[in-house]
Amino acid sequence: MDWAITGGQVLHAEGLKPGTLALSDGRIGAAPAQGARRLDATGLLVLPGIVDIHGDAHERQMQPRPGVDFPPEVAMRDSAAQLLAAGVTTAFLGVTLSWEPGLRGIEAWRATLAAVEAMRAAAGVDLRIHCRFEADNLDALEEVLADIAAGRVQLLAYNDHTPAIVKRIADPAQAAKYAARAGLPPAEFVALAQRAWSRRPEVPEARARLADAARRAGIPMLSHDDATPEMRRDFRALGAAICEFPMSEAVAEAARAAGEHVVMGAPNVVRGGSHMGWSAAAPLAERGLVTVLASDYVWPALLQAAFMMEGRGVLDLPRAWALVSANPAEAAGLADRGRIAPGLRGDIVLVDPARRAPVATFAAGRLAWLSPDGAARLH
């Protein structure tokens, strides 16, 4: 179906302009097609669909409580609906592949990929896989290399949470928390963590093989939680050109000096700072040190963060919205979205600026989600 979105303020690179936006054959058109269905966007902002480069809120649908699992196909269906209602039209699901069993283990990895692939055509939102490979998960290396070669992975991140886990599980309460997520008795989890840690000398070779596979597949790579500029330099040498959640301002500065995108969490902006006690994302974005905001663990935070960035008075709306649309699309190598221009993919979100809330979401030119008050705007 072709669409004409009329009466709204359309976001272009130079700012908001009143006008009509045409969608035809899944893409943004130069002019409305004859017989196109109309949506009255009077009083609304017409913005590029949000591109979420890293979000793991789907884990809460898969395991709403520790040890309580839901079928992946149900979790993915619910996740897709929530994403569209948040204005997200492209979602890289951050799927952690760890040596831990349970939610982040190999069985959950397989089930998540299968569920996404089964529903991808009907999901509305463009669902993609962001593999967060845990450094010490060497038992799963061959399988993930095969998945990358088969085109089942669209982003690869280098995670290294094992050192922190090994340190924390010396505390019985922390060990119990991790064990509950993995579905194991605490003593078994501790033994499993220590076994994984014992293979640390094998990690550099595994990372080199992963990097080679990603380069062959043409997928971008990210390094996660870089603690120092030297760590960022080492991952850059592997080909990881995206710095994700830098642990200090110095790391972000080093990445930007190298021309790399820097990702931080939209919840950081909405909450006014990092829940981990790291750098605040908003002032870094205003200085150009953060170029991409990701949902991290709350999908609606993306839209809210963009408007909060504009409201701080340093970034105008085009630059604030680019943090959740054009910039993540560029970082992920998706040249066909993130902006409003003829020929690009028809991913659009209509937003009520008074409420900072989505009213309608179009994905690939199709009306994929409509709020109750948006129904009266259809003609």
Give yes or no: residues 37 and 98 share one domain. Answer: no
- What pLDDT is attached to residue 274? 73
Can you tell me the distance from the alpha carbon of 119 to that of 359, in angstroms, rounded to the nearest whole number?
24
Can you tell me the distance from the alpha carbon of 348 to that of 41, in angstroms, rounded to the nearest whole number?
12
Can you tell me the distance from the alpha carbon of 264 to that of 287, in angstroms, rounded to the nearest whole number?
14
Give yes or no: residues 247 and 357 share one domain. Answer: no
- What pLDDT is attached to residue 276? 65
Distance of CA 265 to the CA centre of its chain: 9
Give yes or no: residues 35 and 143 share one domain. Answer: no
In angstroms, the Cα distances linking 377 to 51, 117, 127, 372, 373 are: 25, 33, 28, 10, 8
Sign of CA dihedral 281, 293, 266, 49: positive
Can you tell me the distance from the alpha carbon of 235 to that of 214, in angstroms, rounded to the nearest whole number?
13
Helix, coil or strand: residue 8: strand
- What pLDDT is attached to residue 102? 87
H/E run at residue 145? helix 141-149
Give yes or no: residues 26 and 54 share one domain. Answer: no
Give yes or no: residues 90 and 28 share one domain. Answer: no
Which residues constitute the domain of residue 114?
A: 49-331
Can you tell me the distance from the alpha carbon of 5 to that of 160, in angstroms, rounded to the nearest whole number?
46
CATH of residue 346's domain is 2.30.40.10
The answer to whether residues 39 and 315 touch, using CB atoms and an 8 Å cutoff, is no
Nearest CA-CA partner of 301 in 253, 267, 274? 267
DSSP 97: E
Give yes or no: residues 58 and 122 share one domain. Answer: yes
Can you tell me the distance from the alpha carbon of 136 to that of 189, in angstroms, rounded to the nearest whole number?
15
DSSP states along 48-100: EPEEEEEE-THHHHH-SBTTB---HHHHHHHHHHHHHHTTEEEEEEEEEE-SS
- What pLDDT is attached to residue 137? 96
Give yes or no: residues 42 and 65 share one domain. Answer: no
Can you tell me the distance from the alpha carbon of 66 to that of 60, in angstroms, rounded to the nearest whole number?
10
- What pLDDT is attached to residue 41? 98
Give yes or no: residues 93 and 230 share one domain. Answer: yes
CATH of residue 260's domain is 3.20.20.140
Give yes or no: residues 58 and 167 share one domain. Answer: yes
Can you tell me the distance from the alpha carbon of 298 to that of 48, in angstroms, rounded to the nearest whole number?
19
Give yes or no: residues 24 and 103 share one domain. Answer: no
- Taking residue 227's Cβ as centre, other Cβ atoms within 10 Å add up to 13
Give yes or no: residues 63 and 38 share one domain. Answer: no
Q: How many domains does the chain have?
A: 2
Per the confidence metrics, is the pTM higher than 0.85? yes
Give yes or no: residues 289 and 364 share one domain. Answer: no
Please list the pLDDT of the chain residue by residue as tens digits (379 residues). 999 999 999 999 889 999 999 999 999 999 999 999 999 999 999 999 999 999 999 999 999 987 788 999 999 999 999 999 999 999 999 999 999 998 899 999 999 999 999 999 899 999 999 999 999 999 999 999 999 999 999 999 999 999 999 999 999 999 998 898 888 999 999 999 999 999 999 999 999 999 999 999 999 999 999 999 999 999 999 999 999 999 999 999 999 999 999 999 999 999 987 766 667 999 999 999 999 999 999 999 999 999 999 999 999 999 999 999 999 999 999 999 999 999 999 999 999 999 999 999 999 999 999 999 899 999 9
